[in-house]
A and B are shown apart, each in its own frame.
Chain A
Amino acid sequence: MSPRIVIVGASLAGTRTAQALRREGSDARIMLVDAATDVACDRPPLSKAFLTAPDASPDASPKPVLTTAQLGELDVELVLGRRAVSLDATGHAVQLDDGRAVHYDALVVATGSVPRTMPGVAPLPGVHTLRTAEDAAAIRAALAAGARTVVVGGGFIGAEIAWTARSLGCPVTVVEQLPAMLLRGLGPVLAPAFTRRHAAAGVRVLLGAGVTGVAGTGRVEQVLLSDGTAVAADLVVVGVGTAPETAWLRGSGLDVSDGVLCTSRLAVAGADDVYAAGDVARWHHPRYGVPIRVEHWTNAAEHGPVVAANLCGRPTEYDAVPYVWSDQLGARLQIFGRVRPGDEVRYVFGGPDEPRFVAVAGHGDELSAVVGFGALKELMPYRRLLVDGAPWSAAEAVTPSR
Chain B
Amino acid sequence: MRYTAKEKESVMRAHVDLNVCQGHGVCHMSAPDVFELDPEDGHSIVVVDPVPPHLEAAAQLGADSCPERAITVERTVRVD
Contacts and interface: CB of A to CB of B under 8 A. Distances in A.
A198 to B, nearest CB: 23
Interface in B51-80: 57, 60-61, 64-65, 67
B6 to A, nearest CB: 13
Size band of the interface chain A makes with B: 20 to 34
10 contacts: A16-B64, A297-B67, A301-B64, A301-B65, A305-B60, A305-B61, A323-B24, A380-B25, A387-B29, A387-B32
Nearest to B38: A377
Given A304-B64, A305-B60, A380 B42 contact: yes
Residue among B26, B30, B32, B60 having the largest count of chain A Cβ atoms under 10 Å: B26
B60 A321 contact: no
A332 B67 CA distance: 13
Interface string A351-383: 000000000000000000000000011001001
A371 to B, nearest CB: 14
A320 B67 contact: no
A302 B30 CA distance: 9
B56 to A, nearest CB: 10
A2 interface: no
Contacts of B64: 16, 20, 301-302, 304-305
Given A334-B24, A387-B29, A377 B65 contact: no
Interface residues on B, range: 10 to 19
B27 to A, nearest CB: 11
Contacts of A298: 26, 65, 67
B39 A323 contact: no
Interface in B19-46: 22-26, 29-30, 32, 37, 39-42
B interface: dominant SS: loop
A248 interface: no
Contacts of A320: 29-30, 65
Contacts of A301: 64-65, 67
Contacts of A325: 24, 67
B29 A321 contact: yes
Contacts of B39: 377, 380, 401
Nearest to B68: A44
A82 interface: no
Contacts of B23: 376-377
Contacts of A336: 29
Interface string A182-211: 000000000000000000000000000000
A377 B24 contact: no
Contacts of A377: 23, 39-42
B29 A323 contact: yes
Contact of B60 (A23, A334, A383): A23
A321 B24 CA distance: 13
A275 B39 CA distance: 39
Contacts of B37: 380
Return the 5 tightest CB-CB contacts between A and B, nearest first. Answer: A376-B42, A376-B23, A377-B42, A302-B65, A387-B29
B34 to A, nearest CB: 15
Contacts of B29: 320-321, 323, 336, 383, 387
Contact of A376 (B30, B41, B61): B41
Most buried by B among A301, A320, A332, A334: A301
A305 B30 CA distance: 12
Interface in A300-321: 301-302, 304-305, 309, 320-321
A106 to B, nearest CB: 20
B45 to A, nearest CB: 13
